Structure 1
Amino acid sequence: MATIGVLLGRKADEYMGKSAEVLGRVALIVIDVSMLHQHIWA
């Protein structure tokens, strides 16, 4: 039972890490685009 919990925990950590990485990249792109947008319209 404990080993299954550990394996699931590792998978969850891996998944969370990957989705956090993707979200971070998306956030950076969004920030870049909004900065560019302000620069163009300023």
Structure 2
Amino acid sequence: MENQGVKKCVILTGMSGAGKSTALKVLEDQGMFAIDNIPPALLS
């Protein structure tokens, strides 16, 4: 059974130097759309 039309959201958090940018690049390499430093107001 396929999940057609289902969108997944991953919120990646962490302290400075924890590897967030590297993790975002890996997600992009897997075909996901990634945004770095999105303003919290846009998430609500």
**Greater RCO, CA 8 A, separation 6+:** 2
Larger Rg: 1
Global fold match (TM > 0.5): no
**With structure 1 as the length reference, what TM-score do the two structures score?**
0.34
- Which protein has the bigger helix share? 1
